[in-house]
Amino acid sequence: MTNFKLTPQQIADYHRDGYLIVKNFLSSDEVKKLHGIAIEDNMMRKHSFDLNDQSGKRTKLALWYTPGNDAYGLLSKSKRIIDSVNELLDGDAPVCHFHSKLMQKEPKVGGAWEWHQDYGYWYKNEFLLPEQMISVMVAITDANKQNGCLQVIKGTHKMGRIEHGFSGEQVGASQHYVDLALKTMELVYVELKAGDALFFHSNILHRSEANLSENSRWSLISCYNRSSNVPYNEPSNSSTIPIQSVPDEALLEWETSGLQESANFLEKEKDEALK
């Protein structure tokens, strides 16, 4: 989808619900290219690591901070994403790319993610302004109930930050507050077709269940911040470096290589809190 622009209705929906699904955000050729690279890219494989959920099931991901001119970098820097993020975030300082993750939930083994707010992690990094942070998930394969699609509790971004503790190797939100939210707020299974995108607020409660199906569930999640929202406990500086967007056509038309070491990957040993 080139020349993409969010409508006033989509912007209002995002602010009301805390998330927004955009169908067919990528064309089938774009998805094909990203999928092909994801399964063949040695750099991605080399830097992927496992994360255990509470039950010990593993989920695989690679996380990097600096988007280059590889296919994934061109997507996370694309005008359609940067302009949309700019519309949805509070404030007017430049948009920065905090990090991107390729989530690789393998058939039968891909583990769960506990209920959390992304800002439950980012608060620990001492970012002060959750309204200036957002995540964008792009489905590289179909995501459905069977293969552990994302679930959100609609409207929970309005609850503010909830206490988080450790849960396996992840950080999880207070179950008490999750249970209270579920009394009145709707749990939504975010089923996506490959190429669909989900924009979600840093304070929306979300989780996903294990992938017990025969099909993998892969997605790219890119997280953005405004340069004005300086973190005081975050070793990478990506979240305050303004991003120069590239034309949407770049993903298909520019010559791309695989991911490079210069993407600045997170190595799990060094990691204290994941995000």
Ligand X SMILES: O=C(O)CCC(=O)C(=O)O
Residues at the site binding ligand X, with contacts judged by CB under 6 A: 103, 113, 118, 150, 206, 208, 219, 221
CB of 148 to ligand X, least distance (A): 6
Nearer to ligand X, 201 or 206 (CB): 206
Nearer to ligand X, 37 or 150 (CB): 150
CB of 59 to ligand X, least distance (A): 7
Residue 63, classed as helix, strand or coil, is: strand
Strand arrangement of the beta sheet that strand 19-22 belongs to? 19-22, 197-201, 133-139, 217-226, 95-105, 58-64, 49-52
Nearer to ligand X, 192 or 246 (CB): 192
Nearer to ligand X, 70 or 118 (CB): 118
CB of 274 to ligand X, least distance (A): 8
Nearer to ligand X, 117 or 132 (CB): 117
Residue 104, classed as helix, strand or coil, is: strand
Nearer to ligand X, 33 or 207 (CB): 207
CB of 94 to ligand X, least distance (A): 24
What token pair was written down for 181? 């939210």
CB of 150 to ligand X, least distance (A): 5
Could you give the CA distance from residue 138 to residue 127 in angstroms, rounded to a whole number?
24
What's the DSSP call for residue 246? B
Residue 180, classed as helix, strand or coil, is: helix
Backbone angles phi, psi at 4, to 5 degrees: -75, 140
CB of 111 to ligand X, least distance (A): 9
Nearer to ligand X, 211 or 229 (CB): 211
Element (H, E) at 223: strand 217-226
Closest residue (Cβ) to ligand X?
208
Q: How far is CA 141 from the centre of its chain?
A: 15
Strand arrangement of the beta sheet that strand 113-116 belongs to? 113-116, 206-208, 150-153, 187-190
CB of 112 to ligand X, least distance (A): 8
Q: CB of 159 within 8 A of CB of 177?
A: yes
Element (H, E) at 177: helix 175-184
| Among candidate residues 90, 169, 101, the one with its CA nearest the CA of residue 127 | 90
